[in-house]
Protein backbone atom coordinates (compact mmCIF):
# COMPACT_ATOMS: atom_id res chain seq x y z
CA UNK A 1 0.00 0.00 0.00
CA UNK A 2 1.32 3.37 -0.96
CA UNK A 3 2.02 5.81 1.90
CA UNK A 4 -0.04 8.56 0.33
CA UNK A 5 -3.14 6.36 0.26
CA UNK A 6 -2.70 5.48 3.93
CA UNK A 7 -2.30 9.15 4.85
CA UNK A 8 -5.43 10.00 2.85
CA UNK A 9 -7.51 7.41 4.73
CA UNK A 10 -6.24 8.53 8.13
CA UNK A 11 -6.81 12.19 7.28
CA UNK A 12 -10.33 11.48 6.01
CA UNK A 13 -11.11 9.53 9.17
CA UNK A 14 -9.92 12.36 11.41
CA UNK A 15 -12.02 14.91 9.51
CA UNK A 16 -15.04 12.63 9.69
CA UNK A 17 -14.67 12.26 13.47
CA UNK A 18 -14.33 16.05 13.83
CA UNK A 19 -17.45 16.59 11.70
CA UNK A 20 -19.46 14.09 13.79
CA UNK A 21 -18.36 15.67 17.09
CA UNK A 22 -19.10 19.18 15.81
CA UNK A 23 -22.54 18.12 14.55
CA UNK A 24 -23.35 16.46 17.88
CA UNK A 25 -22.41 19.66 19.74
CA UNK A 26 -24.46 21.85 17.40
CA UNK A 27 -27.46 19.50 17.58
CA UNK A 28 -27.36 19.49 21.36
CA UNK A 29 -27.30 23.30 21.46
CA UNK A 30 -30.16 23.66 18.96
CA UNK A 31 -32.51 21.14 20.52
CA UNK A 32 -31.76 22.39 24.03
CA UNK A 33 -32.62 25.91 22.90
CA UNK A 34 -35.92 24.64 21.47
CA UNK A 35 -37.07 23.15 24.76
CA UNK A 36 -36.67 26.24 26.97
CA UNK A 37 -39.38 28.88 27.33
CA UNK A 38 -38.94 32.29 25.73
CA UNK A 39 -39.40 34.25 28.95
CA UNK A 40 -36.52 32.37 30.60
CA UNK A 41 -34.06 33.93 28.13
CA UNK A 42 -35.28 37.44 28.85
CA UNK A 43 -35.37 36.84 32.60
CA UNK A 44 -31.63 36.19 32.68
CA UNK A 45 -30.78 38.95 30.13
CA UNK A 46 -29.36 36.58 27.50
CA UNK A 47 -30.92 38.08 24.35
CA UNK A 48 -34.11 36.44 23.09
CA UNK A 49 -35.05 32.89 22.28
CA UNK A 50 -35.47 33.85 18.62
CA UNK A 51 -31.89 35.13 18.50
CA UNK A 52 -30.47 31.95 20.00
CA UNK A 53 -32.70 29.73 17.85
CA UNK A 54 -31.45 31.51 14.73
CA UNK A 55 -27.83 31.22 15.84
CA UNK A 56 -27.96 27.59 16.93
CA UNK A 57 -30.22 26.68 13.99
CA UNK A 58 -27.69 28.15 11.58
CA UNK A 59 -24.94 26.25 13.37
CA UNK A 60 -27.01 23.08 13.09
CA UNK A 61 -27.41 23.54 9.33
CA UNK A 62 -23.70 24.28 8.81
CA UNK A 63 -22.83 21.20 10.85
CA UNK A 64 -25.27 19.06 8.86
CA UNK A 65 -23.82 20.31 5.59
CA UNK A 66 -20.29 19.67 6.84
CA UNK A 67 -21.15 16.14 7.95
CA UNK A 68 -22.93 15.32 4.70
CA UNK A 69 -20.00 16.59 2.65
CA UNK A 70 -17.64 14.40 4.69
CA UNK A 71 -19.86 11.36 4.24
CA UNK A 72 -20.18 12.09 0.54
CA UNK A 73 -16.46 11.70 0.18
CA UNK A 74 -15.70 15.13 -1.21
CA UNK A 75 -14.65 17.34 1.64
CA UNK A 76 -11.37 17.24 3.36
CA UNK A 77 -10.52 20.18 5.50
CA UNK A 78 -12.58 22.55 3.34
CA UNK A 79 -15.84 21.39 4.93
CA UNK A 80 -14.54 22.52 8.33
CA UNK A 81 -13.71 26.00 7.10
CA UNK A 82 -14.51 29.34 8.69
CA UNK A 83 -18.26 28.66 8.74
CA UNK A 84 -17.71 25.38 10.57
CA UNK A 85 -15.54 27.12 13.15
CA UNK A 86 -18.14 29.87 13.61
CA UNK A 87 -20.90 27.27 14.01
CA UNK A 88 -18.98 25.34 16.68
CA UNK A 89 -18.17 28.61 18.47
CA UNK A 90 -21.83 29.72 18.50
CA UNK A 91 -22.98 26.36 19.83
CA UNK A 92 -20.24 26.35 22.47
CA UNK A 93 -21.14 29.86 23.66
CA UNK A 94 -24.77 28.81 24.01
CA UNK A 95 -23.89 25.64 25.93
CA UNK A 96 -21.31 27.27 28.20
CA UNK A 97 -22.97 30.61 28.97
CA UNK A 98 -26.66 30.72 28.05
CA UNK A 99 -27.78 27.18 28.85
CA UNK A 100 -26.80 27.20 32.56
CA UNK A 101 -28.46 30.58 33.14
CA UNK A 102 -31.66 29.64 31.31
CA UNK A 103 -31.74 26.27 33.03
CA UNK A 104 -31.60 27.92 36.47
CA UNK A 105 -34.25 30.48 35.49
CA UNK A 106 -36.55 27.76 34.20
CA UNK A 107 -36.37 25.91 37.48
CA UNK A 108 -38.00 28.79 39.31
CA UNK A 109 -36.71 29.33 42.79
CA UNK A 110 -39.24 29.46 45.59
CA UNK A 111 -39.68 32.35 48.00
CA UNK A 112 -37.56 30.74 50.68
CA UNK A 113 -34.49 30.15 48.50
CA UNK A 114 -31.37 32.11 49.27
CA UNK A 115 -28.21 32.35 47.20
CA UNK A 116 -26.74 29.26 48.94
CA UNK A 117 -29.86 27.15 49.24
CA UNK A 118 -33.10 27.07 51.24
CA UNK A 119 -33.48 28.94 54.51
Per-residue pLDDT tens for 60-71? Answer: 999 999 898 888
Cβ neighbours of 8 (radius 10 Å): 12
Global pTM? 0.81
**pLDDT, tens digit, 9 for 90 and up, residues 80-117:** 689 999 999 999 999 999 999 998 886 655 555 666 76
- Pure H helices in the chain: 3-35, 38-43, 49-71, 82-93, 99-107
Q: 3-state DSSP call for residue 48?
A: coil
Specify the DSSP element, H or E, that contains 117: strand 117-118
> pLDDT value at position 80?
64
First to last CA, the chain: 70
**pLDDT, tens digit, 9 for 90 and up, residues 32-58:** 999 999 988 988 888 999 999 999 999
Amino acid sequence: MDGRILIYFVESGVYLVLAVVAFALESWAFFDCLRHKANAFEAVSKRTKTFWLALTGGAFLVGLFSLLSQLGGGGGASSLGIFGLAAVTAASVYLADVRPAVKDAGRGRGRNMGPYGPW
